[in-house]
């Protein structure tokens, strides 16, 4: 069953990833009428929202764009940083959406940030217990039921993290789309492209959350189902 879950969601993740790359490639071929680069759009959006302590940087890779709250930087891949198209506009504005969330103490982002160390610790615990359990509960001196509680608890925290990530990502996209439209950074046609690109980007997080839920349900069934 776990192998089936992995295969199904790996396939879904692959399909969504391919679709996302296809959309970005397609929308990168249409130049913005405003002729603004991703860097310029990011700096403009930050300024409009009175965020003055965040730097916009270029980082290597493709679709490596992210906001780093630790050093307050919006990190854009070269295609986005230098790009002057609907895809670049969408991504740059989305990452600035996270910076604005941080500046305004957005509840879901604060919760997600607070969960990061707990989520990381849960991942390490889960790996240790899963490997050890392959040799039987006696290997780590714990009965089967306790191992079950640890695995379900750790994976439950990891699953919760993927669920909390969803409103953070959706809100960042909503902020981005509202701003590019209100600021006339994009035309109505370019707005549609930006919205579609962000929709497929969000789908990657949806698939991850569904995969986590399915895996958690599997572990609950294995350890606590049919106990009669």
Task: State pLDDT tens for residues 174-199.
Answer: 999 999 999 999 999 999 999 999 99
Q: What residues are annotated to the active site?
A: 95
Contact, 209 vs 164, CB < 8 A?
Answer: no
Q: How far apart are CA 134 and CA 136, in angstroms?
A: 6
Average pLDDT over residues 205-210: 94
Q: How far apart are CA 199 and CA 111, in angstroms?
A: 23
Burial of 135 (C-beta count, 10 Å sphere; 0-12/13-18/19+):
exposed
At 80-117, the pLDDT tens digits run 999 999 999 999 999 999 999 999 999 999 999 999 99
What percentage of the chain reaches a pLDDT higher than 70? 93
The residue among 172, 168, 182, 159 whose CA lies nearest residue 44 is 182
Q: Kindly state the tokens that stand for 49.
A: 């929202």
Does 145 have pLDDT greater than 90? no
Domain definitions of the chain by residue range = 2-224
């Amino acid at each position: 069953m776990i192998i089936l879950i992995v295969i199904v969601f790996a396939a879904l993740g692959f399909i969504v990833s391919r679709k996302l790359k296809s959309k970005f490639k397609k929308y990168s071929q249409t130049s913005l009428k405003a002729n603004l680069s991703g860097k310029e759009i990011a700096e403009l959006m930050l300024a409009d929202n009175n965020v003055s302590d965040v730097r916009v940087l270029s980082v290597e890779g493709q679709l490596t764009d992210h906001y780093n709250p630790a050093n307050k930087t919006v990190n854009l891949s070269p295609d986005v940083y230098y790009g002057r198209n609907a895809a670049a506009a969408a991504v740059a504005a989305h990452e600035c959406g996270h910076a604005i969330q941080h500046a305004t103490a957005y509840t879901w982002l604060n919760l997600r940030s607070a969960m990061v160390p707990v989520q990381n610790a849960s991942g390490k615990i889960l790996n240790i217990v899963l490997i050890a359990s392959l040799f039987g509960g006696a290997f780590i001196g714990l009965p089967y039921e306790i191992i079950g509680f640890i695995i379900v608890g750790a994976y439950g925290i990891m699953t919760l993290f993927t669920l909390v990530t969803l409103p953070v990502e959706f809100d960042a996209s909503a902020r981005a789309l509202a701003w590019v439209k209100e600021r006339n950074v994009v035309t109505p046609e370019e707005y549609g492209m930006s919205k579609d690109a962000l929709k497929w980007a969000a789908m990657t997080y949806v698939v991850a959350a569904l995969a986590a839920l399915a895996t958690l349900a599997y572990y609950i069934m294995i350890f606590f189902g049919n106990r009669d």
